[in-house]
A = this chain, B = another copy of it.
């Protein structure tokens, strides 16, 4: 048995590969088998992370696995889906037990947090990269897509923006900060928490949704284009964390919030009549603008002037990694 066969068995034994609703057959055959309740659809998303493009090759394997799975499951949250399982295609130059054990632990941590189960995958020798494919279920016709925003809807986000991008210089060791500032930002970067419950609560209420990965401006551009509306963002209403403001000041924090990526919070459009009920239920919903007739994204700056921003297309860790 080759060392890579051993790796497969190692993952198969991890607790994230045990039991789980909706999984009729897990790891070990030619295919896994998933079951869907009647009246539900399967949501599927695939993401690849490549060393030295999306993360430093020296990244802590626990944090890398945790972040990788969190980022992928965030796509399920953006559709209002309930997670079922995921596959992991892991390519690595060599099998190092310490690295693998930490990676499997990080995967397990996030899998348990998201109630999602490892159902299969592949392990190859080669340059370090991981491809995660996640599966969820959503009632037929109730998935949140990008295309339903209507003029008059409120533009909302699910939390404080920009922390992931603000953390990047800390991640790369290009900058230092006191623990009270660095820790919350690094936690947002390395342990993104997919807003699964919020996504599910928005089904039948939000008219369009996605998770912010490329930066607020770029991602709002996707909703605007798919829905055929313009989106106006009011800069003064951007929710910003104390830590980000302390690190970068108001202007730098706003830049991160608008053009930084790696937030993995939901952005969505909401007919105004649903706002009060959802906020009364305690959901973290921040109104940051509205949908108007037109196209593209506009920004109402701090002085109350409308400008058409250049979405700079956040490049995450490397350049044009996509």
Binding site for B on A (CB under 8 A): 1-5, 8, 24-25, 28-36, 38, 41-54, 75-76, 78-79, 81, 87-89, 91, 119-127, 129, 131, 133, 135-136, 138, 140, 143, 145-147, 209-211, 226, 313, 318, 320-322
Provide the residues of chain B in CB contact with A25, threshold 8 Å: 143, 145
A136 to B33, CA, bound (A): 9
Provide the residues of chain B in CB contact with A78, threshold 8 Å: 30-31
Provide the residues of chain B in CB contact with A124, threshold 8 Å: 48-50, 53-54, 129, 321-322
Provide the residues of chain B in CB contact with A47, threshold 8 Å: 89, 122
Shortest beta-carbon distance from A280 to chain B in Å: 27
Shortest beta-carbon distance from A93 to chain B in Å: 10
Known contacts A44-B32, A46-B89, A133-B87; decide if A53 and B125 are in contact (CB<8 Å).
yes
Residue of B nearest to A41 (CB): B33
Provide the residues of chain B in CB contact with A75, threshold 8 Å: 30-31
A131 adjacent to B48 (CB under 8 Å): yes
Provide the residues of chain B in CB contact with A318, threshold 8 Å: 125
A31 adjacent to B3 (CB under 8 Å): no
Residue of B nearest to A1 (CB): B313
Provide the residues of chain B in CB contact with A138, threshold 8 Å: 33
Known contacts A30-B75, A31-B75, A122-B47; decide if A133 and B136 are in contact (CB<8 Å).
no
Among B41, B76, B120, which residue has its beta carbon within 8 angstroms of that of A46? B120
Among B32, B122, B322, which residue has its beta carbon within 8 angstroms of that of A122? B322
A50 adjacent to B322 (CB under 8 Å): no
Among B34, B48, B76, which residue has its beta carbon within 8 angstroms of that of A42? B34
Among B42, B43, B44, B50, which residue has its beta carbon within 8 angstroms of that of A87? B44
